[in-house]
């Protein structure tokens, strides 16, 4: 009898062991990832003061987005809040601090996408909106279109009453000097010493929704009316709740041709591959050999983060409950 009971207990134990499922770590309540551009950013040519200024601004952008996510806000709001901080800073090539086109004007591009609804909005070659990311969001929410460019986009910005600024606001000596240097050397807008400097953010909120946004002045000495990848949904920006959210920075012409943001999302959705390995391989094994340099940030619904780049550095960082990282150079812990 006792032996019979023992046998039953052993069998029960085995049975219940077989029932046990592997314990997966729960996804974080929220995650926010940002970048402030990739490019020829070398530690040796950076002063301690400038290095500090960049890190402080990245933290400020993370703080702004995290405050929203922490209080149950949406990934879309967090992306906009983080990008606005960087647009308002002359340190980055977006909003104030945007680079100059060949004709000496600032022509800005931005885009935004919501992973739950697949809604998207973008602007290209706008000249007046203080915060181009707000213009992109307004196209998504207040128009029936996805992408507005040039004069029509500028008029839309005025019509809906967004904050605008004159050319003196967007002028920064540093970007002007860069244009003069490039003009003197007669190097094309695509030369490899570009510090791209575009800004972007991707976020996952506590409702499980992803969003992505990107904002830029484009490339120094670009031909007027040139559009890069940043305002193009699928090239520089993409968000799909079934896959991931992505924001790119780098030599836009290549990111357009390889539709990098959508390509990464499609591979994640259809092939169920690893986010980090796939993003790295896209940039390093496909884009780079073709001649395109740059970086991207991406985030999936499990809260997995990747921030690969093929340049010397990329201003970048992420934050979530109990974890924060900000970095600039390669191999930075
Ligand atoms: N991707 C942007 C463009 O080609 C530049 C950048 O990332 O800084 O316009």
260-286 tens-digit pLDDT: 999 999 999 999 999 999 999 999 999
CB 217 within 8 A of CB 99: yes
Q: How does residue 142 score in pLDDT terms, banded at 50, 70 and 90?
A: very high
| Angstrom distance (rounded) from CA 76 to CA 203 | 7
Atom of ligand 1 nearest to the CA of 197: 8
pLDDT in tens, 115-129: 999 999 999 999 999
Protein residues with CB under 6 Å of any ligand 1 atom: 37, 93, 196-198, 216, 218-219, 228-230, 236, 249-250, 252
Residue nearest to atom 7 of ligand 1 (CA): 249
**Of the spans 40-44, 146-150, 221-225, which averages the highest pLDDT?**
146-150
Strand, coil or helix: 110: strand
| Angstrom distance (rounded) from CA 235 to CA 213 | 12
Range name among 41-45, 56-60, 249-253 with the lowest pLDDT average = 41-45
Atom of ligand 1 nearest to the CA of 39: 8
| Angstrom distance (rounded) from CA 227 to CA 84 | 21
Q: Side by side, which strands form the sheet with 147-149?
A: 147-149, 120-126, 108-114, 210-216, 199-204, 31-39, 313-320, 323-329
Q: How does residue 27 score in pLDDT terms, banded at 50, 70 and 90?
A: confident
Q: How does residue 24 score in pLDDT terms, banded at 50, 70 and 90?
A: low
Counting residues of the chain whose pLDDT is more than 70, the rounded percentage is: 89
Using a CB cutoff of 8 Å and minimum separation of 24, what contacts does 8-14 make?
Answer: none
Q: Which residue has the tokens 């400038």?
A: 50
pLDDT computed for residue 25 by the predictor: 74
Overall average pLDDT of the 18-46 stretch:
81
The residue length of the chain stands at 333
Atom of ligand 1 nearest to the CA of 194: 8
Dump the DSSP string for 209-243.
-EEEEEEE---TTPPTT---STTSBTTTEEE-TTS
Distance 235 CA to ligand 1 centre (A): 11
Q: How does residue 15 score in pLDDT terms, banded at 50, 70 and 90?
A: very low
The kind and range of the H/E element at 202 are: strand 199-204
pLDDT at 6 over 90: no
Dump the DSSP string for 312-328.
SEEEEEEEETTEEEEEE
Number of H helices, E strands in the chain: 11, 12
Residue nearest to atom 9 of ligand 1 (CA): 218
Strand 147-149 and strand 120-126: the pairing is parallel
Q: Which of 31, 198, 220, 237 is catalytic?
A: 198
Best residue among 101, 250, 310 to mutate for probing ligand 1's pocket (most ligand atoms within 8 Å of CB) is 250
Distance 75 CA to ligand 1 centre (A): 23
Range name among 16-30, 135-149, 156-170 with the lowest pLDDT average = 16-30
Best residue among 233, 236, 247, 295 to mutate for probing ligand 1's pocket (most ligand atoms within 8 Å of CB) is 236
Distance 71 CA to ligand 1 centre (A): 32
pLDDT computed for residue 193 by the predictor: 57
pLDDT in tens, 152-195: 999 999 999 999 999 999 999 989 998 998 888 876 555 555 66
pTM across the whole model = 0.91
Burial of residue 143, with CB atoms counted within 10 A of its CB: 0-12 exposed, 13-18 middle, 19 or more buried: middle
Residue nearest to atom 8 of ligand 1 (CA): 196
pLDDT at 130 over 70: yes
pLDDT computed for residue 333 by the predictor: 63
Distance 72 CA to ligand 1 centre (A): 32
Distance 51 CA to ligand 1 centre (A): 21
pLDDT at 10 over 50: no
Best residue among 34, 110, 192, 196 to mutate for probing ligand 1's pocket (most ligand atoms within 8 Å of CB) is 196
Active site residue 149: no
CB 228 within 8 A of CB 109: yes
CA dihedral 125, 126, 130, 133 (to 10 degrees): -70
End-to-end CA distance of the chain: 63
Average confidence score pLDDT of the chain: 91
Overall average pLDDT of the 39-51 stretch:
88
pLDDT computed for residue 5 by the predictor: 46
Q: Which residue has the tokens 């506590």?
A: 206
pLDDT at 105 over 60: yes
Best residue among 91, 125, 249, 297 to mutate for probing ligand 1's pocket (most ligand atoms within 8 Å of CB) is 249
| Angstrom distance (rounded) from CA 81 to CA 133 | 9
pLDDT computed for residue 14 by the predictor: 44
pLDDT computed for residue 16 by the predictor: 43
Domains, the chain, in order of start with CATH, read 26-329 (3.60.20.30)
Distance 196 CA to ligand 1 centre (A): 6
DSSP class of residue 172 equals -
pLDDT computed for residue 23 by the predictor: 61
């Amino acid at each position: 009898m006792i032996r019979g009971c023992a046998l039953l207990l052993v069998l029960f134990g085995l049975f219940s062991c077989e029932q046990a499922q592997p314990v997966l770590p729960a996804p974080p309540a929220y995650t926010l990832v940002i970048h402030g551009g990739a490019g020829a950013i070398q530690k040796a040519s950076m002063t301690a003061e400038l290095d500090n200024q960049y890190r402080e601004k990245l933290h400020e952008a993370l703080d702004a987005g995290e405050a929203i996510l922490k209080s149950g806000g949406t990934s879309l709001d967090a992306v906009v809040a983080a990008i606005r901080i960087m647009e308002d800073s002359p340190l980055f090539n977006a909003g104030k601090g945007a680079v100059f086109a060949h004709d000496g004007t600032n022509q800005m591009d931005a885009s935004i996408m919501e992973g739950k609804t697949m809604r998207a909005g973008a602007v290209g070659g706008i000249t007046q909106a203080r915060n181009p990311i707000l213009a992109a969001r307004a196209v998504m929410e207040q128009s029936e279109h996805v992408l507005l460019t040039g004069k029509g986009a500028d008029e839309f910005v005025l019509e809906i009453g967004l904050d605008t600024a004159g050319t003196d606001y967007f002028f920064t000596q540093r970007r002007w000097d860069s244009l003069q240097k490039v003009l003197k050397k007669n190097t094309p807008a695509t030369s490899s010493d570009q510090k791209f400097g575009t800004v972007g953010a991707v976020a996952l909120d506590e409702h499980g929704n992803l969003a992505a946004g990107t904002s830029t002045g484009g490339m120094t000495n670009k031909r007027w009316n040139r559009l890069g990848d940043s305002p193009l949904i699928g090239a520089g920006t993409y968000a799909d709740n079934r896959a991931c959210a992505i924001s790119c920075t780098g030599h836009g012409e290549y990111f357009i041709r390889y539709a990098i943001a959508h390509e990464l999302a499609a591979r994640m959705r259809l092939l169920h591959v690893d986010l980090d390995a796939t993003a790295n391989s896209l940039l390093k094994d496909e884009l780079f050999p073709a001649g395109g340099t740059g970086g991207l940030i991406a985030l999936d619904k499990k809260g997995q983060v990747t921030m690969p780049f093929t340049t010397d550095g990329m201003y970048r960082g992420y934050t979530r409950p109990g974890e924060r990282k900000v970095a600039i150079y390669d191999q930075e812990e």
